[in-house]
């Protein structure tokens, strides 16, 4: 890159895909290359840098790609991540997942490949690393920073549960899609005078159920932060239906919601490297229980239900306006820090203003303040005032 060359920046996307990742990649790449940096996209989250082979003659195109303005301009308006993603965790890698060329070196049941990761980053000549992800992806970014590598992180997750920031890439599109799909399905619920139960993402935080409910898309919602009484939910849903001239009501159920005295429901026992089993089924069970209990609150007459897991329909496709603008800003914030020689930071949006905080704030999950924002009796949002609240009201990192 000649006399203007300032260094090399690596960028990766990990965890679940969300709309807004490609705009962030585009923003970083365009600004960085214009400022004199070379940009390398690491493929498949932490997997690409894990599986890299340090041989200039080896075809590592499945592990990394050099990014240019011309390349990222074609993808900046699209959803998903063109760098691909994975849930690879290099610090806790099972023996069966260790790349073949590293199996002799790492042969324990669980292996920490961090020395190899650092070696591979140095072999690529990467000076700064920008991981884009949620708690799982960013927690390993914290680990690399603690090992002395220069890391600037960007928060991404439609659950919006990364600590330190009011907003994570993907959240707005998720809420927008949830509202739209709920409104689509309510016509069937109304036609058949049923109770509509929709399951949405949200393992530890219920923002993706609470915000659409606040916007008027649902009558009630149940969230991971509060174990709910199914009898109370059924009573409320029947009352909501019977008050409605169209004779239907709508409930949103976070995938991590739990019955009183119960536990999270899992689709299967298999876990990823971060220890997460796939959630699924709570919405279906809630729907069945409401149908079974409904006669108790409806003069002995059963009310049929409609159940739908919105799942990947809320995370696929193109980003909405907010998830096109915020990733652009986050990418440029990251470059602002790098140009100032600053690292070990997480770029954030707080109280309507862009900022940055120490990266090691990424510990655990941000959750809904139930006492402030959730009515545990009525199973719906509560809000007393809007003055000085963040854009999405209940998503502030307090």
Kindly state whether residues 58 and 145 are assigned to the same domain: yes
Give the dihedral sign, CA 235/236/239/245.
negative
162 & 299 share domain = no
CA dihedral (171, 175, 176, 179) in degrees, to 10, reads 170
**Which of the pair, 235 or 383, is modelled with greater confidence?**
235
Which residue range(s) make up the domain with 252? 174-314+370-381
Three-state DSSP at 382 gives: coil
In a domain, 141, yes or no: yes
* 31 in the same domain as 151: yes
In a domain, 394, yes or no: no
Do 22 and 95 lie in one domain? The reply is yes
141, 210: one domain: no
pLDDT band at 183 (very low <50, low <70, confident <90, very high): very high
Domain with residue 334: its CATH number is 3.40.50.450
Please give the Cα distance from 207 to 368 (Å, whole number). 7
Do residues 227 and 258 touch, judged by C-beta distance below 8 A? yes
- Over the stretch 100-142, which tens digit does the pLDDT of each residue have? 999 999 999 999 999 999 999 999 999 999 999 999 999 999 9
What confidence tens digit (pLDDT) does each residue in 61-108 have?
999 999 999 999 988 889 999 999 999 999 999 999 999 999 999 999
> Is the domain of 10 the same as that of 153?
yes
Q: 124 and 30: one domain?
A: yes
Which residues are bridge partners to 23 per DSSP? none
Nearest-angstrom CA–CA distance, 377 and 385: 20
As a residue count, the chain comes to 398
Active site residue: 17, 127, 135, 159, which one? 159
Residue 42 shares a structural domain with residue 153: yes
Query: In the structure encoding, which two tokens stand for residue 291, read together?
Result: 């149908």
What's the whole-number average pLDDT of the chain?
94
Shared-domain flag, residues 127 and 193? no
pLDDT for the residue numbered 275? 57
Q: CATH number for the domain including 240?
A: 3.40.50.460
Q: Per the structure, how many domains does the chain have? A: 2
Q: Kindly tell me if the per-residue pLDDT of 321 is higher than 60.
A: yes
Q: Is residue 53 part of a domain?
A: yes
359, 154 in Cβ contact below 8 A?
Answer: no
* Domain shared by 79 and 43, yes or no: yes
Q: How large is the average pLDDT for residues 12-25?
A: 96
| Confidence label for 390 from pLDDT (cuts 50, 70 and 90) | confident
Co-location of 356 and 274 in the same domain: no
Q: What is the pLDDT of residues 349-386, one digit of tens each?
A: 998 899 999 999 998 899 999 999 999 999 999 988 88
Average pLDDT over residues 333-344: 98
Q: What is the DSSP letter of 123?
A: H
Indicate if 146 and 107 belong to the same structural domain: yes
Burial of 382 (C-beta count, 10 Å sphere; 0-12/13-18/19+): middle
- Residue 159 falls in the annotated catalytic set: yes
CB 166 within 8 A of CB 395: yes
Please say if the pLDDT value at position 324 is more than 90. yes
The pLDDT of residue 60: 97
Q: What value does the mean pLDDT take over residues 237-254? A: 98
As a whole number of angstroms, the distance between CA 39 and CA 129 comes to 10
């Amino acid at each position: 890159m000649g006399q203007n060359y300032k260094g090399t920046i690596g960028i990766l996307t990990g965890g679940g895909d969300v709309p807004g990742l490609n705009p962030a990649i585009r923003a970083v790449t365009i600004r960085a290359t214009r400022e004199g940096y070379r940009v390398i996209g690491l493929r498949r989250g932490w997997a690409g840098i894990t599986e890299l082979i340090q041989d200039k003659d080896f075809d590592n195109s499945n592990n990394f790609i050099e990014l240019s303005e011309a390349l990222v301009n074609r993808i900046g308006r699209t959803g998903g991540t063109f760098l691909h993603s994975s849930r690879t965790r290099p610090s806790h890698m099972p023996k069966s997942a260790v790349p073949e060329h590293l199996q002799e070196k790492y042969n324990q049941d669980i292996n920490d490949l961090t020395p190899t990761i650092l070696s591979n980053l140095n072999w690529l000549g990467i000076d700064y690393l920008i991981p884009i992800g949620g708690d799982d992806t960013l927690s390993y970014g914290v680990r690399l920073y603690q090992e002395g590598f220069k890391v600037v992180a960007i928060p991404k997750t439609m659950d919006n549960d990364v600590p330190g920031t009011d907003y994570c890439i993907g959240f707005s599109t998720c809420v927008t899609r949830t509202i739209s799909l709920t409104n689509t399905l309510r016509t069937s619920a109304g036609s058949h005078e049923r109770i509509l139960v929709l399951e949405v993402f949200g393992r530890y935080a219920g923002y993706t159920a609470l915000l659409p409910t606040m916007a008027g898309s649902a009558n009630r919602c149940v969230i991971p932060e509060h174990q709910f009484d199914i009898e109370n939910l059924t009573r409320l849903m029947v009352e909501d239906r019977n008050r409605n001239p169209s004779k239907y009501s709508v409930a949103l159920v976070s995938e991590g919601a739990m019955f009183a005295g119960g536990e999270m429901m899992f689709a299967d026992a298999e876990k990823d490297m971060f220890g997460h089993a796939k959630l699924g089924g709570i919405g279906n069970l809630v729907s069945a229980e409401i149908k079974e209990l409904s006669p108790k609150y409806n003069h002995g007459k059963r009310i049929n239900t409609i159940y739908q897991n919105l799942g990947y329909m809320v995370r696929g496709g193109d980003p909405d306006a907010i998830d096109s603008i915020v990733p652009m800003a986050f990418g440029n914030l990251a470059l602002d820090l790098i140009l100032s020689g600053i690292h070990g930071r997480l770029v954030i949006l707080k109280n309507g203003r862009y900022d940055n905080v120490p990266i090691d704030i990424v510990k655990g999950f941000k959750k809904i303040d139930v006492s402030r924002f959730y009515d545990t009796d009525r199973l719906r949002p509560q809000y007393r005032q809007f003055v000085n609240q963040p854009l999405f009201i209940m998503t502030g990192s307090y």
